[in-house]
Amino acid sequence: MSLLTVDKLEVVYQRAITAIQGVSLRVEERQIVALLGTNGAGKTTTLRAISGFLGLDDARVTEGSIRFRDTQLENRPPYEITRRGLALVPERDKVFPNLTVAENLAVVPSRTSGTARKMEERAYHFFPRLTDLRRRTAGLLSGGERQMLAIAAGIMCDPDLLLVDELSLGLSPVAVEELTKSLVAIRDELGVSILLVEQSATVALGIADYGYVLENGRIVLDGDAQRLRDHSDVQEFYLGHTGSDRRSYRDVKQYRRSRRWYG
């Protein structure tokens, strides 16, 4: 049985706007799964639906199911879901800006009592740079450090599945490289599965085992990372390759090829 099974998920905002429709995906144990797509494709909504909505979001899962291990997760509040072993690293507002780095980690309640100390050591083990920044206010961290802290806080939740929204957004290639390495290390050492939402297919398919492509609120393509990397449409629209290395301008079509997905 899969760790996480999302089946024909439909999410409606403000009782009127359908954000995603019929999204199905699976995450197996110890797997890194990438969810690709352009702006507004519904990636973040999918992650938010899995990690739970608050009343504030005015959003609901109206159809389909989310099963994590043996429990159904749809429309439960986030704090219940996190305590079941599913932690989210959100896209924006991912740290508490007025709390220090150490406090950001300390506020996370431990899933099993008495493990707070161990979890903290673990977080600093994966992100040693945070050790020096312990007393720094989180709002003063750089983008890369902030992302580190967010992932570290995610690990503090002692998750079985880590959901990461936009790992590389607004970060330098060096920082992204470092972060992807830590994610792989977290998977290898802790056996945590990771569902990674990304705009940059190069980053995501570099570390993922499996990938899904989401467009206009629907899954249009899925497969092994290798298969997606080789897929001509993914190459053209997400990886920025144009097929052969050199191409004569005479062969370039005058119109932009539209995306047609046949799986």
Q: Which two tokens stand for residue 246?
A: 């050199």
State which of residues 71, 72, 75, 98 lies at the interface with other proteins (CB under 8 A). 98
Q: Which two tokens stand for residue 172?
A: 């330098």
> Hey, which residues between 156 and 185 contact other proteins (CB under 8 A)?
156-157
Residue 82 interacts with other proteins (CB under 8 A): yes or no: yes
* Cβ neighbours for 84, distance < 8 A, ≥ 6 positions apart: 68, 69, 71, 73
Tell me phi and psi for residue 9, to 5 degrees: -75, 135
Only segment of 7-15, 107-115, 207-215, 252-260 that touches other proteins (CB under 8 A): 107-115
Q: Which is nearer to other proteins, 90 or 144 (CB)?
A: 90
**Residue 157 per-residue DSSP state:** T
How far is it, in rounded angstroms, from Cα 40 to Cα 157? 28
Q: Which two tokens stand for residue 73?
A: 């997760």
State which of residues 153, 171, 203, 234 lies at the interface with other proteins (CB under 8 A). 153
Q: Which two tokens stand for residue 227?
A: 């298969």
**Residue 73 per-residue DSSP state:** -
Only segment of 81-89, 217-225, 231-239, 251-259 that touches other proteins (CB under 8 A): 81-89
Only segment of 12-20, 89-97, 173-181, 211-219 that touches other proteins (CB under 8 A): 89-97
Binding site for other proteins (CB under 8 A): 51-52, 54-57, 77-79, 82-83, 87-88, 90, 93-99, 103-104, 106-109, 111, 153, 156-157
